Amino acid sequence: MKDSACPNCDSQKSKIDDLDFISALKEKTGKPVIGFLCCFAPPELISAAGAIPYRITGKPGSDNTAADAYLEPYGCSYVRNIMARAAKKDFNALDGLVISHSCDMVQRLYGIWTYYHPFPYSYLFNVPHQITPWSRRFFKRELHFFRESLEKFTGRQVSNKNLVKEINLFNQNRQLVRDIYKMRSVDNPRAGGSEILEILLAGGRLPAPEFEILLREKIRLFAGRKPAKKIKKRILIWGSLIDHPALLKMIEKSGGSVVADDTCIGFRTWENDLPLTTDPYEGLTDHYFNNFLCPRTDRGPGLQKYNYLLDRIREYRVDGVVGYCISFCDPHKFDYPDLRDLLKAQGIPILLIDDNYSFEPAEAIQTRLQAFLEMI
Amino acid sequence: MSESEMSRAKRHLETTRKMKDMLPRFFMRMLERRFNNEPLAWCMVGVPPELLKAFDLLFEWPENFGTMCASRLVAPRFIEVANNDGYSSELCSYVTNTMGYCKLFRETGEAPPESPLPGGMGTPSFLLGSGFICEPRWKWFQSVATRFFDVPVYSSDPLAPPWDVNPHDPRIEDHYLTLLREDLAGQIEFLEKQTGRKLDLDLLRDILTLSHRALTYWRDTLALRKAVPAPMGSTDYFHAIIPQMYLVGDQEAVDFYREMYEEVRDRVDRGIGIVDEEKYRLIWFGLPPWFNMGIFNYLESSGAVFAYESTYNVGDYFEVDLSDPLEALARRTWQRAVKMHDYGAEAMPELCNPAVFGGFAGSSLLDELVDDYSLNGAIMHLTRSCRAVSFGEVHTKNRLAKLGIPSLIFESDMTDPRLWSDAQIKNRLQAFLETLDRIKEETD
């Protein structure tokens, strides 16, 4: 199997491999680099402990067979891809690994990965599924256990002062990302959805101050551009993790413009500032436990839990929604029928792309997107 | 898949054969109460049945309903309805079975005629979910209440530490036990509100006493399976778990498990096995194919017996101080999770596990089982729609290989017979047994 199966994934080849990138990052900063998956263990804490948080991503369409020695074929193809990359030693330069208990598959990846490929530091950040006063208290206690483990590893105490400093840095970037997102609320955006995702992905590999520089550069670049001449169909992407711009590029190629999203590397991460509370761990709990809108958290029965999405659809004047579900992604697959019916009742078309984290067969996906965009 | 490929199980024990009379009697009692319009709770496994008994609740288990639909080969009908409604075929087939059933129920206002129980699962008054084992289990009730029955839901949400955290550290224990206690209190508050009744702690203690008496017999029965030849089979095992869901806390359950223990004890004493010539002693991993339980008898016809099943093995680590019955329930869950941690079950769900209910993966428990149960092979059922139980089988296979124990992983499903490929699976099973023969010849 070729390393990058999808024609739209070619841009990935130009990126520096994780192994080299992490090694260079370590050399440049003199700090340990800790890889993390999912969005519940705060990277602010990793930074405050004197390490560099590094968002681990997959390579869609790349060969997953190296995972077969450890994982079953029936499982999230993203998780299998990450495990295959781990088996190929792509992440060996990392000093540590932090996995949040987000969904079942990611959580169970932790045990297998650390059993076969132990790191100098690893932590499974446990997260309840229900929003209750006691689960909130658990999450806050878990934050402190996480802090302690980081302190033990880096040898640096996390003072509230340092933590607040990091929160401010990250909040600044959140604001800048939102500024970029806002550029897409106009009729003819100056920035493409795929371009913005590329920036967010790059940011996941950078220390916060460097990401800030990148964001400011891009804002200047976009602001200097002329608005797009042709008004395109405005698309919101909802669904599983998207850590590659291939799907967005396909939408753009089909005549659509991705103006908003509801995905974890996208809006879910950047939508709100982390509240600065007297006890910073209260703010961390609000932000990462209560307010992070991943369907792995139970927000009760009924459709009111999607009100935020309807608001976003209105704010960004969305013409249609493209749903994206990775194979065996239970949290999103459970929600799809309810969301589909809700959007239908609101007159908002939705197309579901079910994918095994390869964006293949690209022609078939492209054809479906084209038909959808012609229809709306 | 054709229906002729599916075969019903032949049970070996008189006790488990008698369940054919016992369970219908129980279901009729429940049905009578349903007709009297008593509130009905749909529950997820992981909700302590003792608590349901203490509230004198009428209850049904959609997961168990799924197994019944599977064994009567009606599950594909319900699953197909759910798939057409947008529920992916990758989702747990117990779930899609329920969702299809519910859709048909809502459309006609009554249980679909294919339902295995008279009146099907009835109309729930509230839903008691559980986050034990996997997330589909609480997503399931979230969806049921969103789409089909607008009734209150409570989903319990226990957690346990990951494999590399020491659960014996008092701070860690407090961290997790606090969650378990508070979650249980939330569950009880919900039940008190729904039933309008206060929990009677004395009654709960009495029920737990009876429940643990039954579990003691069950645990001791399972230990008897170390004997060669195997005194009972998987078909007995998988059927004998049902009273734990419906009858635990009743004297009837104690009597059932005592009789079972005595019968198995007698067979061990007299050296009676379930096959004439026991050639292979195996361990089973994964959920069984409920639509084709005869596959166990098929293997027995080749001299292969299972002495241990990793799934639903709730027979151990339940002994706790019952003086405070609420603390006992929380500690029982914790104790079972800690016990599995002590074995180092690295691929276990981090969700608190009632002993090895959902199956275990990896773990040095394997070393003990291989010796204690004289095992020489493992068969693992990789269920396409249940990753919670089958995830970790490859890892378990790796760990067994280190012990010199060969294993076979075959693919199908627990509910959906359309995923069963009879000839292919039987060929693989036979080839595996031949491999065991070859290994035996080489070592002899």
Whether residue A239 is found in the same domain as residue A145: no
Whether residue A168 is found in the same domain as residue A241: yes
Contact A104 B134 (CB under 8 A): yes
* Torsion of Cα atoms, A88 then A93 then A96 then A97, to 10°: -30
* B264: closest CA of chain A, how far (Å): 36
Q: What is the pLDDT of residue B131?
A: 87
Give CA–CA dist B108/B224, Å, rounded.
Answer: 49
A342 interface with B at CB cutoff 8 Å: no
Considering only CB atoms, which chain B residues are within 8 Å of A295? 139
Task: Measure CB to CB from residue B90 to each of A122, A300, A333 and give the nearest one.
Answer: A333
Number of cross-chain residue pairs from A and B with Cβ atoms under 8 Å apart: 163
Region(s) of chain B under CATH 3.40.50.11890: 3-202
Considering only CB atoms, which chain B residues are within 8 Å of A107? 349-350
A219-258, pLDDT tens digit by residue? 999 999 988 778 899 999 999 999 999 999 999 999 999 9
B91 interface with A at CB cutoff 8 Å: yes
Task: Measure CB to CB from residue B347 to each of A111, A296, A337 and give the nearest one.
Answer: A111
Whether residue A136 is found in the same domain as residue A177: no
Whether residue A105 is found in the same domain as residue A185: no
Q: What is the pLDDT of residue A129?
A: 95
Residues in chain A predicted with pLDDT less than 50, given as ranges, are: 1-14
B135 interface with A at CB cutoff 8 Å: yes
Whether residue A100 is found in the same domain as residue A132: yes
Whether residue A254 is found in the same domain as residue A225: yes
Domain containing A109 — which CATH number?
A: 3.40.50.11890
Q: Which phi and psi angles does B46 have, rounded to 5°?
A: 120, -25
Contact B350 A101 (CB under 8 A): yes
Contact A132 B147 (CB under 8 A): no
Whether residue A203 is found in the same domain as residue A346: yes
Whether residue A203 is found in the same domain as residue A122: no
Name which CATH class applies to B3-202. alpha beta
To test the contact with chain A by mutation, choose from B134, B157, B353 the residue with the greatest count of A C-beta atoms within 10 A, namely B157
- Give domain status of residue A201, yes or no: yes
- Give domain status of residue A2, yes or no: no
Q: Which fold has domain B272-443?
A: Rossmann fold (3.40.50)
Three-class DSSP labels, A170-236: HHHHHHHHHHHHHCCCCCCCCCCHHHHHHHHHHHCCCCHHHHHHHHHHHHHHHHCCCCCCCCCEEEE
Q: What is the pLDDT of residue B356?
A: 44
Q: Which domain holds residue A103?
A: 7-158
pTM above 0.90, yes or no: yes
Closest of A89, A97, A126 to residue A114, by C-alpha: A97
What burial class does residue B187 get, using C-beta atoms within 10 Å of its C-beta: 0-12 exposed, 13-18 middle, 19+ buried? buried
Whether residue A286 is found in the same domain as residue A239: yes
Q: What is the pLDDT of residue A201?
A: 96
A20-32, pLDDT tens digit by residue? 999 999 999 999 9
- The complex's ipTM works out to 0.94
Give CA–CA dist A251/A194, Å, rounded.
Answer: 9
Domain count, chain A: 2
Contact A130 B86 (CB under 8 A): no
Considering only CB atoms, which chain B residues are within 8 Å of A108? 347, 349-350, 391-392
Whether residue A68 is found in the same domain as residue A92: yes
Task: Measure CB to CB from residue B387 to each of A74, A128, A295 and give the nearest one.
Answer: A74
Domain containing A262 — which CATH number?
A: 3.40.50.11900
Residues in chain B predicted with pLDDT less than 70, given as ranges, are: 1-4, 314-315, 347-362
Task: Measure CB to CB from residue B391 to each of A108, A138, A334 and give the nearest one.
Answer: A108
B233-261, pLDDT tens digit by residue? 999 999 999 888 888 889 999 999 999 99
Using only the alpha carbons of chain A, give its radius of gyration.
20
Domain boundary, last residue among A158, A182, A209: A158
CA distances from A116 to A70, B98, B341, B398 (A): 9, 38, 18, 11
B165 interface with A at CB cutoff 8 Å: yes
